Amino acid sequence: MSTIAEEFLTATENKAFDLDHRRIINYNIGKYDAAVAKGLAKLINLDYAKRKSHVIKWRVMENLDKFLPEFEANFQRRGGKVIWANDAEEANREILNIIQRANAKTVVKSKSMTTEELNLNEFLESHHIESLETDLGEYIVQLLGQKPYHIVTPAMHLSKENIAELFNQRFGTPIDATPEQLTLKARELLREKYVQADVGITGANFLIADTGSIAISENEGNARLSTTFPKIHIAIAGIEKIIPALTDLGLYWPMLATHGTGQNLTVYNSILSGPRQPGESDGPDEMYVILLDNGRTDLLAQKEQRQGLYCIRCGACLNACPVYKNIGGHSYNTTYSGPIGSVITPHEQGMQDFKHLSYASTLCGRCTEVCPVKIDIHKMLLLNRRDAVKEQLFTKPEQWGWAAFTKMMLNRKWMDFFKGNFKNFALKTFFKKSFGQYRDLPKVAEQSFTDLWKKGHKENL
């Protein structure tokens, strides 16, 4: 077992029995469930919308080599610049080059999971560049020195009391401050930063091929400020974020909003098509889009699993997953957690180190049921398990153990040969540690089903 897998098991066992964490996460996801139920009820034909979303994404992934150059050509036509990055290191290097050419020292960032893949904040700080998150949830976890807990709601694991305590320690606000008061304090602290910042960095919810535009959805207006005040705007997006046409936003914006937060539409939806044009009053002097691969083409090459790239990052599968609701986002120790993270991470970061995530599932299928683009998530998890076995990414003792277990389970005589007392002894001896200190081992009956059957049906034998 890899060190990463061992750390995962330790973290999940601790978090699963953290009652305060469970209370907070169940409360927050409960509010999400109620909002989403209302939002989805307003869609006339949800299943049709999901199927259409799936088909569009299928067409894009099957023709990615055509749509990406189309986006690049249209974006460059309006003065934008496109940079292709094979991995996180290359993307960070290109970002640093842009910042250093402009002699910039401060960066404001809107929420972007793609930049979390790059560990961009830490990278920029190591080069003495201040990088500040402006999304309230991201700002809170940055103050705590943590990574986002959730794809959509970075601070979902924190209660309002936790946040009030943090702001009291850092900024001297009242310990009993209300969420409204805390939000106003964050606004006061961040507004000045927008004006001072040299560079704004964002992600992109969608890349629009036919207009060469990026689309950004948000609820706080921080992305608009991050892309308007600084003279340079850098957008970082995975190559899978492409959609064919501007008109497709009429489908994807409502699907993203309802599945992500339960809203009909997010508060701010922006379409950006390059730097400020002649006659325009605001916008950056320079705009760059960095198209990030970082393992995505490895997943694209897997014909059966490439639909993992259809994901629009709504977070619905995380909120539906019984495993996620018990172990939380940080336990995964990956940029993308929950069911969809368990599907894509082994392909993007290596099956050897992350195959264990595909086993962190009940295979209940709830993730597949709620996905707005109909990704067959629980099937993808099974295919990952298959691939791990095909690549022989297991230890010899594990191989021998499963071989013996299979032989015994497929042969009734072998099953009955070992009596209940021996089976209970074997469980206590070999499985107590792996089953966990907080769990009671199952107790095998002293008599097998065959013995009980024979005993009750002697007259028929």
**CB-CB contact of 20 with 14 (8 Å):** no
pLDDT number for residue 443: 86
- List the beta bridge partners of residue 106: 130
pLDDT number for residue 440: 81
Mean pLDDT, 10 residues at a time, the chain of 461 residues: 85 91 94 94 94 98 97 97 97 98 96 96 96 96 96 95 96 95 93 93 98 97 95 98 98 97 96 93 94 96 94 96 95 96 94 94 96 97 94 83 84 79 82 75 83 75 53
pLDDT number for residue 396: 81
- Side-chain-side CA neighbours of residue 102 (13 Å): 23
* pTM, two decimal places: 0.91
For the chain, give every domain's residue range: 43-294, 396-460
Query: Which fold does the domain 43-294 belong to in CATH?
Result: Rossmann fold (3.40.50)
pLDDT number for residue 1: 62
CA distance 297 to 302: 9
pLDDT number for residue 413: 81
**CB-CB contact of 165 with 175 (8 Å):** yes
pLDDT number for residue 415: 78
pLDDT number for residue 394: 82
**CB-CB contact of 330 with 149 (8 Å):** yes
